[in-house]
Amino acid sequence: GENVEQHPSTLSVQEGDSAVIKCTYSDSASNYFPWYKQELGKRPQLIIDIRSNVGEKKDQRIAVTLNKTAKHFSLHITETQPEDSAVYFCAASISGATNKLIFGTGTLLAVQP
Amino acid sequence: NAGVTQTPKFRVLKTGQSMTLLCAQDMNHEYMYWYRQDPGMGLRLIHYSVGEGTTAKGEVPDGYNVSRLKKQNFLLGLESAAPSQTSVYFCASSNPGLAGFGPGTRLLVL
């Protein structure tokens, strides 16, 4: 089955710096890759997603890149702000089949003011 | 439009007791999922359903059962709770791809 690895487990940056979180997946059939942000005590919330027919997607300060050959995808946050502090999860699924989302283990991002 | 809801929000059980967690969605989604979240281990898929009347095992199904008798509801059962099942349980639904999560159920098994 699918396995998703996520690095780093913790990341501390200064406000205004960029943050990058990386994930790898094992199942080459996976074609949908969402990223979720989870604040303390709350439910995960979708922040951006990418499908396998696209190499990069951007939404304001966040972007996601996908390398299908290497089975890597990454989340990029630019101009980080204290409110970006949270746990970020990547996930992979085979959309159109079971659609089950398999998650990475999460990255705790701390943005220091 | 309530989205995905879960009941109860919090529960304390004794070892060996049973309980059912209810997930409900009002978005007419086909796919529903149960995850558990433990510190340092992310969200692990327990069971999922690709439509009314269907269920399938996820990554960590042992000790849990599920049912999807109605499209809008997905029930997670613990027949004989164990301390290892202390966790936060999240339900999600999708149609397909984008998954929205419920608020979570915090379960403590003593």
Residues 6+ apart with CB under 8 A from A48: A34, A35, A57, A59, A62, A63, A64, A75
A12-71 confidence digits (pLDDT tens): 999 999 999 999 999 999 999 999 999 999 999 999 999 988 899 999 999 999 999 999
Q: Is the pLDDT of residue A93 over 70?
A: yes
Peptide bond connecting B83 to the previous residue in cis, omega within 30 degrees of 0: no
B21-58 confidence digits (pLDDT tens): 999 999 999 999 999 999 878 899 999 999 999 999 99
Strand partners of residue A58: A63
Dihedral angle computed from the Cα positions of residues B7, B95, A88 and A33, in that order, rounded to the nearest 10 degrees: 160
Flag whether residue B77 sits within 8 Å of chain A, measured between CB atoms.
no
Flag whether residue B98 sits within 8 Å of chain A, measured between CB atoms.
yes
Q: Which residue of A has its CA nearest to B89?
A: A43
Burial A2-40 (b: 16+ CB within 10 A, else e): bebebeeeebebeeeeebbbbbbbeeeebbbbbbbbbee
